[in-house]
Amino acid sequence: MADAGGGCCSLRLPDDSLFLGLDCSTQSLKATVLDASLGIVAADSVHFDSDLPHYGTHGGVRRDPAERGRIVSPPLMWAEALDLLLARLRPRADLRRVAAVSGSAQQHGSVYWARGAAAALAALDPARSLAPQLAAAFAAPESPVWMDSSTAAQCREVEAAMGGALRLASLTGCRAHERCTGPQIRKMHQTRPQVYDATERVSLVSSFMASLLVGGYACIDETDGAGMNIMDIATRQLREDALQATAPNLKGRIGKLAPAHAVAGKIAPYFVQRFQFASSCLVIQWSGDNPNSLAGLTLSNPGDLAISLGTSDTVFGVTESPEPTLEGNIFPNPVDPKTYMVLLCYKNGSLTREDLRNRYAEGSWDMFNRLLEETALLNGGKLGFYYKEHEILPPLPVGFHRYIVKNLSSGSLDQMVEEEVDEFDPPSEVRAIIEGQFLSMRGHAEQCGLPVPPKRIIATGGASSNPIILKIMASIFGCPVYTSQRSDSASLGAALRAAHGWLCNQQDEFVPFSCVYSGRIDRTSLSMKLAVPFGDCKRDTELLNNYTLLVRKRLEIEQKLIERFGR
Ligand code: ADP
Ligand code: XUL
């Protein structure tokens, strides 16, 4: 038996056991397999656009040409990806040894199961793959995902019914953002009533994937459930008033909620026979990708700020007493029932950086980095606002806006003036998107009570593999930046949560998450690397003060843009 605890905890994971973590994110399904000493045994992924091109997705989603802001993905694609990923993993990891599997998924997306789907899930035939067997299981063949921004009207209706945006935020953890599942369900009920009427159950992407694995409807976990606007953030129960404000007869369609560390069920016979999982393998509740990243980064220090640079950019930290705001989201911590995570989400993350790379750096990250290095810190006061998608934070429609801020050297916001321009030179464009994203994160994180300046930043997600981008992050926040060994902290977090859920089940009570890893973080895949040391982030006061001024100026210009273009 491997010592799972050390120090405070003497619980143990069985020596020969494996723990599987999956992450059904926007663009791909990823897997991490850990052994009992938390070493990575295997990792793999299925990329939706290139591995499953017959679903016709771009960046994992479909944009509806007939309806502005409607962005969906086919749930059947996620099911087919699961089959494909397990087939890829099987020769490289002995799936018979997997003691528990858990998962992570993009948050907020909703899956509408048709009547009779529970029976189809319970009768999956291992001789055939999942997709053809589930083709008729959906009342809606397309699921609205977190990128969807077509529910502004429903958001305002839900907020009005609940006593206003801030009251809704204080009751459920966030105001009605367009991506939140409640307004999405309301829109389905209002605009496609035949779909809503035919729906037996609504799953989140996380509980949808767990449902496949257990061969029946899995509960929505309390952490991901907080992204719906229908769960009480304090009691973690569904709120009757919020359910009523959303859609009729909703409670039965949502089902019960469960803690993230709970067992969703044993793995279904389909997976036992087709992929040789042991029939004793436990499926631990799936949760959202940001909560799983928090687990994978073992984030628990209140002075730490995590920044995830994936399809979405997110900024999050841990707190015991979150204050509701109009900008952020509050989710329960999936591995510590006493604390919460506060999160900011930007829609223009990696895909917008890629767009600028393609326009100004010949589609090459190497050239993008060279341009970044050619340009000076502060970018000569050039501020860019690049919204290739309708942005969440600030709520602005598609459009690029560029300004040159003059008199930064005056040191006074009052004397700084901005001039709007059409375009910058290519190197400045490239620096403007990166600096602009981090200036915005710093400003909004501070407004939401996240630790600014942080003691340190832990960066994760696809773009955290880019050291030049991390250097700029360190300069703007004025702190060192760490990265985890792997940029995919969500599937790693899911594998750790699988081990945690397994231990909780074995003990028949909640055990601290640190029991899974304490005493050996530095010897495992969980250890952090110092990516930008203290000295490198040029922590000189003048530079930091200048960035502080630019943050304020940027927030001021954001307000003006909202007045001009805001939805
Ligand atoms: P998600 O989990 O949301 O699907 P990931 O965290 O896997 O996304 O991130 C994928 C993104 O990482 C890609 O869209 C790509 O733009 C970005 N990326 C990969 N390598 C680099 C790099 N060297 N520099 C900047 N961005 C990168
Ligand atoms: C968080 C959010 C996104 C998705 C996709 O609220 O909407 O980060 O989870 O990753």
Residue keyed to tokens 């029991």 = 515
**Inter-residue contact 23 to 103 (CB < 8 Å):** yes
Q: ∠ CA 528-530-534 to the nearest 5 degrees?
A: 145
The whole-angstrom separation of Cα 494 and Cα 484 is 15
The whole-angstrom separation of Cα 176 and Cα 287 is 20
Cis peptide bond prior to 193, omega within 30° of 0: no
pLDDT at 2: 54
97 CB-contact burial (10 Å; exposed 0-12 / middle 13-18 / buried 19+): buried
pLDDT at 6: 45
User: Which of 329, 209, 188, 191 shows the shortest CA–CA distance to 253?
Assistant: 188
Q: Does the fold of domain 304-454+535-566 match that of domain 18-295?
A: yes
User: Which of 424, 430, 428, 422 shows the shortest CA–CA distance to 361?
Assistant: 430
The whole-angstrom separation of Cα 242 and Cα 32 is 37
pLDDT at 3: 52
User: Which of 90, 81, 94 shows the shortest CA–CA distance to 22?
Assistant: 81
Q: What is the pLDDT along the chain (567 residues), one digit of tens a residue?
A: 555 444 457 788 999 999 999 999 999 999 999 999 999 999 999 999 999 999 999 999 999 999 999 999 999 999 999 999 999 999 999 999 999 999 999 999 999 999 999 999 999 999 999 999 999 999 999 999 999 999 999 999 999 999 999 999 999 999 999 999 999 999 999 999 999 999 999 999 999 999 999 999 999 999 999 999 999 999 999 999 999 999 999 999 999 999 999 999 999 999 999 999 999 999 999 999 999 999 999 998 889 999 999 999 999 999 999 999 999 999 999 999 999 999 999 999 999 999 999 999 999 999 999 999 999 999 999 999 999 999 999 999 999 999 999 999 999 999 999 999 999 999 999 999 999 999 999 999 999 999 999 999 999 999 999 999 999 999 999 999 999 888 889 999 999 999 999 999 999 999 999 999 987 777 677 889 999 986 655 557 889 999 999 999 999 999 999 999 986
List Cβ neighbours of 528 (8 Å cut-off, separation of 6 or more).
458, 482, 483, 484, 485
pLDDT at 11: 87
List Cβ neighbours of 419 (8 Å cut-off, separation of 6 or more).
403, 404, 406
Ligand 1, residues at Cβ distance < 6 Å: 25-28, 310-311, 350, 353-354, 365, 461-463, 465-466
Alpha carbon of 382 to those of 401, 428, 433, 541: distances in Å? 11, 7, 10, 21
Residue in 30, 57, 350, 352 to alter for ligand 1 test, most ligand atoms within 8 A of Cβ: 350
Distance 312 CA to ligand 1 centre (A): 10
For the chain, the domains span 18-295, 304-454+535-566
Ligand nearest to the backbone CA of 289: 2
pLDDT at 352: 98
What the block records as the tokens of 78 is: 């996620």
Distance 261 CA to ligand 2 centre (A): 20
What the block records as the tokens of 273 is: 């026979």
- What dihedral do alpha carbons 250, 252, 254, 256 form, nearest 10°? 140
Nearest ligand 2 atom to the CA of 311 is 10
Of all protein residues, whose CA lies closest to atom 8 belonging to ligand 2? 312
The pTM is what?
0.96
Class of domain 18-295: alpha beta
Class of domain 304-454+535-566: alpha beta
Cis peptide bond prior to 74, omega within 30° of 0: no
The whole-angstrom separation of Cα 201 and Cα 223 is 19
pLDDT at 540: 73
DSSP 8-state assignment for residue 268:
P
Task: Find the radius of gyration of the CA atoms of the chain.
Answer: 23
